[in-house]
């Protein structure tokens, strides 16, 4: 429906909407994150939920202790190689639709610990990430900004048509392979279906 | 009590104990006791019971890779009938080893160590197949996890450790990441931070 027409109708006391808008409006205002912290970024995440920054204003105050009840995974902190399979497993256990925020330099790329022998160089090697927040650690405002970016993303999702999101396409996976502990590192080192090595992409 | 006194008491208290003082040339001048690994356990018991070093605050490992030492040696040789002094460089290869370092304190007697840790060292035979050291966990319980860490990251094997398993890396991991010659797996290539 035309936006101008909707505004015009609302001036006359008529509220017009679509099912899609209503549905996404409900979804984006009740995103429940998983209670899940990995390192120092988790402290900022906790601060974001408390009274001063108050993530509850955005409908995300209910941190669920079970992945079965969660919609959003905030990967807050360094993912070690020993922890990575558990992170992927938790993601797999979440019901669709599910979203991931990679919070901080470590979750994006390994951050200052990138060259460490036990540090995963970004969680996007194994699970699809919706919003990346840089920072070490990002301030609570940055997490709120990322959360609002995620809300915008949710409200822009179409329920039908070719551009509908992954969870509405039956043929696309909702679970991703859990890496195994190998003799020298994780096997495989990344999920090639979703992760594209930036250098290899540049080289073509 | 100075390190020299501890050394003398060790040599009388543990017969045949081979002790050396490793001199630290830096401004801190924190010298340490180097004990032959065969006497390790007996010496540790003596340090705890007789010298009252009852607390091990830190245990860690150091990796010393093989290194080459170059010395300039002056020799006299007869060249063309004339005796000359010739300088030669001699290279000697010093084989590497793994070293355990324990920091010991005395809670009961503050005079021991004089507010500073008494540093105890033990060395393995080499870095490959002779990497066994006696575990000092039976003497100082606080060394248990730190010896496990040294086993995990450096590959020092402890004899007499009650529970020698990897502590940071997973079972089935075969490398020792804190060794100088550790190479990360090739799939860990550094896409943006350089490297290749």
CA distance A120 to chain B (A): 9
Tens digit of each residue's pLDDT (9 = 90 or more) over B43-96: 999 999 998 899 999 999 999 998 888 888 887 778 777 888 888 888 888 889
A118, A78 contact by CB (below 8 A): no
CA distance B181 to chain A (A): 13
pTM of the model: 0.83
Give residue for tokens 């990575």. Answer: A84
Round to whole Å and give the CA distance between B194 and B175: 23
CA-to-CA distance for A189 and A84, rounded, in angstroms? 11
State the pLDDT confidence band at A201, using cuts at 50, 70 and 90: low
Q: Do B168 and A118 touch (CB under 8 A)?
A: yes
A118/B190 Cβ within 8 A: no
Smallest Cβ–Cβ distance between B177 and the set A114, A117, A121 belongs to: A117
Tell me the DSSP string of B98-123: EEEEEEEE-SS-TTTTTTSPEEEEEE
Return the residue matching tokens 């197949």: B129
In angstroms, the separation between the Cα of residue B185 and the nearest Cα of chain A is: 6
The token pair that represents A19 in the structure block = 């099912």
Q: Which is nearest to A185 in space by CA: B194, B189, B187?
A: B187
The larger pLDDT score, comparing residue B169 to residue A202, is at B169
pLDDT in tens, A57-76: 998 888 999 999 999 999 99
Residues of A in contact with B174 (CB under 8 A): 183-184
The answer, for B177 touching chain A at a CB cutoff of 8 Å, is yes
**What pLDDT is stored for residue A199 in this prediction?**
66
B192 has pLDDT over 70? no
> Looking at the complex, does the CB of residue B83 fall below 8 Å from at least one CB of chain A?
no
Instruction: Compare all CA atoms of chain A with the CA of B182 and give the residue at the minimum distance.
Output: A117
- As given in the structure block, the two tokens for residue B135 are 């575990």
Q: In B, which residues are within 8 Å of A185 by CB distance? A: 184-185, 187-188
- In this prediction, residue A105 has a pLDDT band, given cuts at 50, 70 and 90, of very high
Of B171, B177, B192, the CB nearest to A199: B192
Indicate which of A184, A187, A188 best probes the interface with B, i.e. most B CBs within 10 Å of its own CB.
A184
Asked if A115 lies within 8 A of B182 by C-beta distance, the reply is: no
Read off the pLDDT band of B97 (50, 70, 90). Answer: very high
d(CA B144, CA B135): 9
Q: A183–B173: do the CB atoms touch at under 8 Å?
A: yes
- Banded pLDDT at A155 (limits 50, 70, 90): very high
For residue A195, the chain B residues in CB contact (below 8 A) are none
Q: What is the mean pLDDT of residues A182-199?
A: 84
Mean pLDDT calculated for residue range A120-145: 93
Q: Does B26 touch chain A (CB under 8 A)?
A: no
| pLDDT tier, B113 (very low <50, low <70, confident <90, very high otherwise) | confident
pLDDT of res. A202: 64
Alpha carbons B102 and B40: distance in angstroms, whole number: 12
Lowest mean pLDDT among A195-199, B19-23, B141-145: A195-199
Chain A residue at shortest CA distance from B184: A117
- A·B CB contacts under 8 A: 48
Q: Is B135 a residue whose pLDDT tops 80?
A: yes
B173, B175, B187 ranked by CB distance to A181: nearest: B173
Q: Which of A13-17, A45-49, B149-153 has the lowest mean pLDDT?
A: A13-17
From CA A197, how far away is CA B190, in angstroms rounded? 10
Q: Does B15 touch chain A (CB under 8 A)?
A: no
Rounded (10°) CA dihedral A89, A94, A96, A102: -70
**Mean pLDDT of all residues in chain B?**
87
Q: How far is A116 from chain B (nearest CA, A)?
A: 9
> Higher confidence at residue B102 or residue B196?
B102
Residues B153-167, mean pLDDT to the nearest whole number: 93
Q: To the nearest whole percent, how much of chain A has pLDDT over 90?
A: 62
Chain A residues touching B182 at Cβ < 8 A = 117
pLDDT digits (tens, 9 = 90+) for B21-53: 999 889 988 899 999 999 899 999 999 999 889
Query: Are the beta carbons of B169 and A82 separated by less than 8 Å?
Result: yes
Q: Indicate yes or no: CB of A190 within 8 angstroms of CB of B177.
A: no
Asked if A181 contacts A96 with a C-beta cutoff of 8 angstroms, the reply is: no
The neighbouring-strand residues paired with B18 are: none
Chain B residues 156-175 with CB within 8 Å of chain A: 168-175
């Amino acid at each position: 429906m035309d936006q101008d027409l909707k505004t015009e109708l609302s001036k006359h006391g008529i509220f017009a909407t679509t099912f899609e808008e209503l549905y996404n409006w409900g979804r984006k205002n009740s995103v429940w994150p998983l209670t899940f912290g990995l390192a120092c970024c988790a402290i900022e995440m906790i601060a974001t939920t408390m009274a001063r920054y108050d993530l509850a204003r955005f409908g995300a105050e209910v941190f669920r202790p079970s992945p079965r009840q969660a919609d959003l995974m905030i990967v807050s902190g360094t993912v070690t190689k020993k922890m990575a399979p558990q992170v992927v497993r938790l993601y797999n256990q979440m019901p669709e639709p599910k979203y991931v925020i990679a919070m901080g330099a470590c979750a994006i790329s390994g951050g200052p610990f990138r060259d460490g022998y036990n540090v995963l160089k970004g969680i996007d090697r194994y699970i699809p990430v919706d919003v990346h927040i840089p920072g070490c650690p990002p301030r609570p405002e940055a997490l709120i900004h990322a959360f609002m970016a995620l809300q915008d993303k949710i409200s822009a999702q179409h329920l039908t048509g070719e551009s509908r999101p992954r969870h509405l396409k039956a043929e696309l996976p909702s679970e991703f392979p859990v890496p195994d502990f190998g003799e020298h590192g994780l096997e495989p080192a990344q999920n090639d279906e979703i992760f594209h090595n930036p250098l290899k992409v540049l080289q073509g | 009590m100075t390190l020299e006194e501890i050394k003398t008491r060790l040599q009388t208290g543990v017969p045949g104990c081979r002790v050396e003082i490793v001199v630290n040339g830096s401004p801190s001048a924190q010298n340490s006791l180097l004990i032959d690994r065969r006497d390790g356990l007996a010496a540790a018991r003596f340090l705890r019971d007789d010298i009252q070093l009852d607390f091990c605050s830190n245990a860690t490992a150091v990796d010393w890779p093989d290194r080459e030492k170059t010395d300039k040696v002056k020799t006299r040789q007869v060249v063309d009938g004339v005796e000359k002094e010739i300088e030669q460089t001699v290279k000697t290869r010093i084989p590497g080893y793994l070293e355990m370092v324990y920091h010991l304190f005395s809670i009961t007697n503050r005079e021991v160590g004089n507010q500073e840790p008494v540093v105890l060292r033990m060395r393995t035979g080499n870095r490959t197949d002779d990497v066994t050291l006696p575990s000092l966990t039976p003497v100082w319980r606080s060394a248990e996890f730190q010896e496990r860490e040294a086993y995990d990251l450096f590959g020092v094997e402890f004899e007499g450790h009650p529970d020698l398993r990897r502590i940071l890396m997973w079972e089935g991991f075969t490398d020792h990441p804190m060794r100088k010659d550790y190479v990360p797996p090739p799939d860990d290539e550094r896409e943006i931070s350089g490297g290749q």
